[in-house]
Amino acid sequence: MPPSVSSADVPNRARHHRSAWAVFRVPLLVGLVCTAGLGLALVGDGIWDGLSWLALSLPVTLVAFYWRRAGRLR
């Protein structure tokens, strides 16, 4: 899934349209991790809280990562 550098800037018209599965598999995974994160802190303290912090930081981390990468490609 890691996107190639050349396609990051301009949509690749030669490439076939992605299926819904290809478009949604990463968001789905993020959603599942976040759901787990929301639930984990509810069931226990200590380690459960820690896991919940990690899981719910995923969206923040992803955005920071992709934003920085887009900046480097400038």
Partner 1 sequence: MVQARTIRLWSRIHTWTSLVCMLFLLMLCVTGLPLVFHDEIDDLLEDEIAAPAMPEATPRLSLDRMIAAAQARFPGQYVLLLNLKQAEPLVTVAVSPTAVPAPGNFHRLTLDARTAEMLGEETPHQDVMDIVLRIHKDMFAGLPGELFLGAMGLVFAASIISGVVVYWPFMRRLDFGTIRRRSSPRVKWLDTHNLLGIVTVTWTIVVGLTGMINTLATPLFDLWRAQLIPVLLAPHLDKPVAPIPSVQAAVELVCARFPDRLVTSVTMPTSARFGSPQHLVVWTKGATPFTARMLQPMLVDANDGKTIVAPEVPWYLKTLQVSRPLHFGDYGGLPLKIVWALLDVMTIIVLVSGIYLWAARRRSSARRKPLDAGQTAAAGV
47 contacts partner 1 (rule: CB under 8 A): no
13 contacts partner 1 (rule: CB under 8 A): yes
6 contacts partner 1 (rule: CB under 8 A): no
17 contacts partner 1 (rule: CB under 8 A): yes
Q: Which long-range contacts (CB under 8 A, 24 or more apart) does 3-12 make?
A: 5/73, 8/69, 8/70, 8/73, 9/73
Q: Which long-range contacts (CB under 8 A, 24 or more apart) does 62-68 make?
A: 62/30
DSSP for 37-48, please give it: HHHHHHH-STHH
20 contacts partner 1 (rule: CB under 8 A): yes
Q: Which residues bind partner 1 (CB under 8 A)?
A: 1-4, 7-13, 15, 17-18, 20, 23-24, 26-27, 30-31, 34-35, 38, 41-45, 49, 52-53, 56-60, 62-63, 65-67, 69-71, 73-74
